[in-house]
């Protein structure tokens, strides 16, 4: 394994870890803004990656996708604990929707910052410049992947939570009831999508966005 390959792997791991861990921390930070100290009390607002690692989502799934040559990586960190009753009490439905979408907002913001930073990067002419260019490149890719993927209305993804709370706010509680019924099957559905040709359909919007951001 040469130096370039090592840098590729290291920057990939860093970018993916920041994307998924930052995503979860933002849920906790916004919940804390609405008076919910659960994540803070359990030390889940820490940037220490150890407290956020999910053996399956942070290690096994990304590794399987990488070594299987899937062409994309996806993963998740251990969900940050949220007390929705406290958030609802202090912020109403708008508060719980904001908590649901906080991670997605983080991913899109970080992706845009990385895109802008890449505009100021010249062609890599050293190991160090290659490292930072590759890190920014992967930062765009994995934050777009996580941001868009989490918008899909499939439990337990953030999009499902946001839509459920939005319709409850509108007085249409049947949607929330539907999601409550299928939530136990959500992870199975996600794994089927990721591991089968259905992933092509799901990831097509992501590829289009990345083609526009990283021509």
Which residue is it, tokens 């290690």? 59
Catalytic residue among 18, 19, 20, 24: 24
Q: What is the DSSP letter of 83?
A: -
What is the number of other CB atoms lying within 10 angstroms of the CB of residue 176? 16
Is residue 177 part of the annotated active site? The answer reads: no
Phi-psi sector, 171: left (phi>0), alpha (psi -120 to 50), beta: left
Assign 121 to helix, strand or coil: coil
The end-to-end CA distance of the chain, in Å, is 28
Read off the tokens for 199: 């992933």
All residues at 6 or more sequence positions from 37 whose CB lies less than 8 Å from its CB, including other chains: none
Which residue is it, tokens 């499902």? 160
Assess contact for 18 and 26: CB atoms under 8 A.
Answer: no
Q: Which residues are catalytic?
A: 24
């Amino acid at each position: 394994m040469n130096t370039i390959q090592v840098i590729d792997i290291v920057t990939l791991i860093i970018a993916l870890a920041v994307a998924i861990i930052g995503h979860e921390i933002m849920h906790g930070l916004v919940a804390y803004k609405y008076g919910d100290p659960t994540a803070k009390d359990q030390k889940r607002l820490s940037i220490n990656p150890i407290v956020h690692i999910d053996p399956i989502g942070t290690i096994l799934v990304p590794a399987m996708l990488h070594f299987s040559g899937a062409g994309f990586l996806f993963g998740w960190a251990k969900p940050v604990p949220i007390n929705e009753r406290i958030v609802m009490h202090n912020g109403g439905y708008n508060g719980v929707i904001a908590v649901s979408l906080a991670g997605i907002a983080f991913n899109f913001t970080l992706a845009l910052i990385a895109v802008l930073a890449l505009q100021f990067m010249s062609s890599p002419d050293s190991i160090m410049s290659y490292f930072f260019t590759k890190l920014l490149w992967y930062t765009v890719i994995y934050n777009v992947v996580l941001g868009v993927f989490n918008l899909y209305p499939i439990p337990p993804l953030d999009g499902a939570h946001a839509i459920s709370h939005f319709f409850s706010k509108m007085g249409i509680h049947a949607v929330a009831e539907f999601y409550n019924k299928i939530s136990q099957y959500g992870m199975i559905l996600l794994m089927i999508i990721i591991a089968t040709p259905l992933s092509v359909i799901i990831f097509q919007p992501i590829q289009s966005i990345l083609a526009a951001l990283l021509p």
